[in-house]
Amino acid sequence: MRRALRAAGVLAGAIALSGACGAAAQSRAAAPSRPPARWAAFTSAFDRYAQSDGVVGGSVVVLRAGRVLARHAYGRGDLQRAGAPAEDAVYHWASITKTLTAIAILQLRDRGRLTLDDPIVRYVPELRQVHDGFGSIDDITLRMLLSHSAGFQNPTWPYGEGRTWEPFEPTRWDQLVAMMPYQEIGFRPGSRFGYSNPAFIYLARVIEVLSGDPWAVYVQKNIWTPLGMTESFVGRSPYHLAGRRARSYTVRADSGGSARTEANPPEFDPGITIPNGGWNAPVADLVRYLAFLTHADHGDSALAARYDGVLRRATLEEMWRPVVPLAAGSLDEAFGLSFYVYRRGDRTTVGHTGEQSGFRSFFYIDPASTTAVVGVLNTTNEARPDASATGWDTLTRGAVELVAP
């Protein structure tokens, strides 16, 4: 689920973001500085990509030290209605959800409940049914799952032809367990990067075993609530947010080869796969999340304590260290503990992307400068998949460069 983003229409200047976890500190802080020098070029690239890929609409926000510097919107939020995407629209963030699962695992580690070198089968013994031709499956650790180096398969569900009887995703744990005897480890665990959605469902089982809470309840209690992310949710929309849920679209080729834009259902069920891609939230909650990731407390000791209570900065920095290279031979582009890591000299940029049900999203931060960017598009293009993927990768690389000093 790696991809990129684009937008149009600039709101420049300082925009104070109020929120339960940061409003007091922000009110005392100095006015935000200007957006990065590359901002204008990036938003132009965002718009070009969106237009070329048939995107209906998208939004992108750049911030520093938790304060929004500029917003940019492209196109329309809904094909049936005029108007740019609403600032308070609730988007689906797909695989960015994995960073929540990883933070939960590190919370439990810091609280002495587990170690990252624990074997996954200690908590998920059902995985002993998976064939491991490289040795004992007992050698596969939580660290390997967090870094996508365990060798588990990538797709959660083997059905993807789009036929009407096919479920969107598995809805129950027993469905995944039933498939385990027919799976195998794809490469020697720990030897390389191999993206795996099911790995994060297995990590969610660890969280549930140790906490006694379902994944969503644990995340609500231990991440969203203390960070003031009051409009984040999984599954179907709560009644008070249903009207703000963003529409999404997929561009497909018809039988004659012409492209057509189809609306996706506004509500869909990620089922058991929620821990790897079920997060729904407005951009404002993502801004609060990025403020936490950069520990943007502005000298507010109470806010600093709240951030540390969720996860210490030292632990976040541990998550941002390269574990496995994305390509052989170099750790300059690598994967840490659920974060993509890009190193340029002595500087590091980290982030994640997502793609599901028509949405594409990304965020990247430079921890040293606290500059960050978060963006989302409401359309994916299946009529030109190769060109679309190449354009998305180019756009996300531009987002990485945007936040780099």
Query: What is the tens place of the pLDDT at every residue in 335-393?
Result: 999 999 999 888 899 999 999 999 999 999 999 999 999 999 999 999 999 999 999 99
Summary mean pLDDT of the chain = 91
| Joined tokens for residue 133 | 């031709």
Assess whether pLDDT exceeds 70 at residue 70.
yes
Give 12's pLDDT tier (boundaries 50, 70, 90).
Answer: very low
SS3 state at 90: strand
Comparing 19 with 97, the larger pLDDT belongs to 97
Residue 32's pLDDT is what? 58
**Is residue 378 within 8 Å of 60, Cβ to Cβ?**
no
Assess whether pLDDT exceeds 60 at residue 315.
yes
Give 170's pLDDT tier (boundaries 50, 70, 90).
Answer: confident
Query: What is the tens place of the pLDDT at every residue in 135-160?
Result: 999 999 999 999 999 999 998 887 77
Residue 88's pLDDT is what? 97
Would residue 337 be called left, alpha or beta, if left means φ above 0 and alpha means ψ between -120 and 50 degrees? beta
Give 171's pLDDT tier (boundaries 50, 70, 90).
Answer: confident
Q: In the chain, what are the domains?
A: 93-235+270-286+296-323 (3.40.710.10)
